[in-house]
């Protein structure tokens, strides 16, 4: 049985979610836009799921719009704000955003229009955080939108989005957060947090792939990306993926009910792994702040062996341990340095060499035991490569060491 430690890439479908989706596939097969009883059943299922997602976020159901993915939701947030610009716009994001945001910002810069979109990319510090003071310095008179992720997908650090949102609002701009990695793992209260737009994806909290959502604060108007029949109140045309939406809604309900208990369990696993790895593997170091991170998210480097990350991953796979060397979205560029780690100050060799270990709902003590038994043996087999790396920042040091 595989020990699955790649929950940041995707989470296994919860069996309870599968049962809800199975029922929806059998009984809610109508088109939600149809007026007959079968269509009304499908519509009721979609609206129930909308309320479940809204409840998880402490938002209103009318602020939730279903999409085909978290990536689509992020694209809709950024492009929807900038679509009908009447003057030059300025957007601020960070240097280590997910491509769903980073590539969209670059595309907006390249668009030919009478009015330009300029983008500023905020630096991140060596612990993996965007400093609020950097946002203050970057704001301009024509700043329209700030987009900072809630939790980084590679290192797991939690960004100070409430403070960043407050600064943004004080300036009169809109604030979007890519919360794909964070929703279902940490609490949100969008009724009070200074967030105008938030993107999320079902498959990151034990729901199905192929369905996401965008929170849009009530008074905010966006231009759609997909035109057609006017579904999702005109913002996202396309016949709704009823079973997927039902699965997302039920996964959101489960996450709301079980988040506190699950987070406590994952933090216990996480801290045990940090302590064991940095104690028992001489050249291991944790990347990112040890505490201000997602409950089950870890990222390690191995000094002098960073160039062997892919070999380490494959060795662990032989022992039925699934981990990653970074974002799943960058797996096709595994030979290239991680832009996230480069933004944090690592050199190109170090930035190729992280091991991302992400825990989830179905991990057990036995999984952790197996991982901690195999990892020291696997790293001992790796060859050393000189990287001229001398840790000087606490996030690159052994926990509790100077």
137: Cβ–Cβ under 8 A, 6 or more apart, which residues? none
Strand, helix or coil for residue 175: strand
> Which helix (H) or strand (E) element contains residue 145?
strand 143-147
φ, ψ dihedrals at 186, nearest 5°: -130, 155
How many whole angstroms separate alpha carbon 56 and alpha carbon 177? 16
φ, ψ dihedrals at 180, nearest 5°: -55, -45
Best CA proximity match to 140, nearest among 114, 165, 118 = 118
- What is the C-alpha end-to-end distance of the chain, expressed in Å? 39
Describe the strand order of the beta sheet including 355-358 as a list of residue ranges: 284-286, 297-302, 355-358
CB-CB contact of 165 with 135 (8 Å): no
299 is catalytic: no
Just list the catalytic residues: 329
């Amino acid at each position: 049985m595989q020990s699955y430690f790649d929950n940041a890439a995707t989470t296994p479908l919860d069996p309870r979610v599968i049962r809800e989706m199975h029922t929806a596939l059998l009984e809610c097969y109508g088109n939600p836009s149809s007026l007959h009883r079968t269509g009304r059943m499908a519509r009721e299922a979609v609206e129930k799921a909308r309320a479940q997602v809204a409840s998880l976020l402490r938002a209103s159901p009318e602020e939730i719009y279903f999409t085909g993915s978290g990536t689509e939701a992020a694209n809709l947030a950024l492009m929807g704000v900038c679509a009908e610009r009447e003057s030059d716009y300025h957007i601020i994001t960070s240097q280590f955003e997910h491509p769903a945001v980073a590539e969209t910002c670059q595309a907006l810069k390249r668009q030919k229009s009478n009015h330009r979109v300029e983008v500023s990319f905020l630096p991140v510090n060596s612990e993996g955080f965007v400093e609020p003071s950097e946002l203050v310095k970057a704001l301009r008179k024509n700043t329209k939108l700030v987009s900072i992720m809630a939790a980084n997908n590679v290192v797991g650090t939690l960004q100070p989005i409430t403070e960043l949102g407050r600064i943004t609002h004080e300036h009169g701009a809109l604030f979007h957060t890519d919360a794909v990695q964070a929703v279902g793992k940490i609490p949100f209260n969008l009724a009070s947090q200074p967030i105008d737009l938030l993107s999320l994806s079902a498959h990151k909290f034990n729901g199905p792939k192929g369905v996401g959502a965008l929170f849009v604060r009530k008074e905010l108007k966006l231009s759609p990306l997909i035109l057609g029949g006017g579904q999702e109140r005109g913002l996202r045309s396309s016949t709704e993926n009823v079973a997927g939406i039902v699965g997302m809604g039920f996964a959101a309900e489960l996450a709301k009910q079980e988040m506190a208990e699950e987070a406590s369990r994952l933090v216990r696993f996480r801290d045990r792994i940090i302590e064991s790895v940095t104690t028992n593997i001489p050249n291991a170091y944790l990347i990112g702040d040890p505490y201000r991170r997602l409950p089950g998210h870890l990222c390690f480097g191995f000094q002098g062996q960073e160039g062997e990350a892919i070999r380490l991953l494959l060795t662990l796979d032989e022992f039925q341990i699934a981990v990653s060397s970074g974002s799943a979205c960058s797996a096709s560029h595994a030979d290239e340095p991680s832009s996230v780690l480069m933004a944090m100050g690592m050199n190109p060799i170090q930035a190729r060499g992280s091991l991302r270990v992400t825990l989830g709902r179905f991990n057990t003590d036995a999984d952790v035991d197996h991982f901690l038994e195999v990892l020291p043996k696997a790293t001992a087999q790796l060859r050393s490569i000189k990287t001229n790396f001398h840790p000087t920042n606490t996030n690159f040091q052994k926990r509790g060491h100077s």
